[in-house]
Structure 1
Amino acid sequence: MANEIVKSEDNGSAVAQYTGGVDLGGIMADELDGLNLSFDRIKIPSGGGLAFEVPGDDPDSPDSVKEFKAVILHHHPINCYYEEEYTGGNNPPDCGSMDGHIGIVAETGEVKSCADCPFNKFGSGKNGAKACKQKRRIYLLREGEQLPIILSLPTGSLGEFSKYVMRLLSKGKKTNAVVTKFTLKKAQNSGGINYSQAVFALDRVLTDAELAAVAPMSEQVKAMANKVAALDEE
């Protein structure tokens, strides 16, 4: 069943609805047999920029948007360690963890505990930070789309995301039960460097019908999340 968006009148205003889902497992088996599992990515700018970089019709010319709305299907911690300073590109990390607990060294396949790793300690990186970067990978479903898209939150945005999740939980809502609005604000770290920090706000609560359509997709994404490559998006 295709993911469709319809408009319904609610108190005189048009509200977009998620009225269906797709069988992600079936799509991946049919179309991606032997290929790497990957999704498009929304990127957060560096240096305090206030516009997201969102994939558009032209892969070489992404759209620049100051805000967007989506349902958070699933989110989980991800750790990335680069032996040499990261300078951009989609290079896999020298050691990566898809759950924030167990890391795998790319060259040797060695399995390490993130809790015991010296690169996961403050002071191991620049300006007293950790050499291994803690992030949060978020799988989003935007209106009118059938497949998830990924947003990776850098360390500087994790605090804001934690506060947002706690606000939802205090109201008895999980992140996949609402439409979230994403924006950016300029922030500054302890070293005086400006960076772009993601900000999250509740747009609206999903209807019962929408939640029934979104819930199965959330479970499918959760089941396949550890198969998506740990590429860096800074």
Structure 2
Amino acid sequence: MNRPAPALLQPRKAPRQARSAATIDAIHTATIQVLLAEGVGRLTTTRVAERAGVSIGSMYQYYPHKQALLFAIVERQLQSIMSAMLVAAQHLEGRDVATVAEGLAIAWLDAKTADRVASRAIYGIAAEFDLGEVMGEAKRQMTQVIGQLLAAAPDARFADLASAAFMLTALLGGSVRMVMETEDSEDSLACLRQELPRACKAYLAAANWGAAQGAPCLRD
């Protein structure tokens, strides 16, 4: 698949005024609506502009083509999730390891399922892009945030803090993605909401007290 690089998909300009920001919000909302109603194959910038109530000229001021618009939707979703996790991290700072594990798991689930319909639509278009750089930066930020929380936990005894933060990031991301990209049923999400915090707490408990016997698996 010939996927355009992120550098070729950046918007022409960023909104600088409240009116421009409102236009962008309307465009993004309309894009999700068209995706859900007609699918990515029938989505065009003209259809989105009509649904958003903006001129095609206004659309092109920001997004030169369909691919740039869809990429912006994916990026916005990632930024929204990261923002939610940063807020959660502020509330968890200085708490014990078990509380941090449970709090992060719940916050991650809340962020990923805040709008399940839109999230599934976004998962459907994400495969069209080369997201290695974007996802790599998101992973780096998450690992850093988790590492800082674990380092500040009063009962932290991690011999390999970096590996613990990396593994918790992978555990959160991989488990939710597996469910959201497949059935996304009420039962599976309810099970995930019950079991993911337990899994995170169990892993960190083992890493916190047992890692001293093993060598670090991540190196600078």
Judging by fraction of residues, say which structure has more helix: 2
Instruction: Give me the TM-score of the superposition, normalised by structure 1.
Output: 0.23
Q: Which has the larger radius of gyration?
A: 2
Instruction: Between the two structures, name the one with larger relative contact order (CA 8 Å, sep ≥ 6).
Output: 1
Judging by fraction of residues, say which structure has more strand: 1
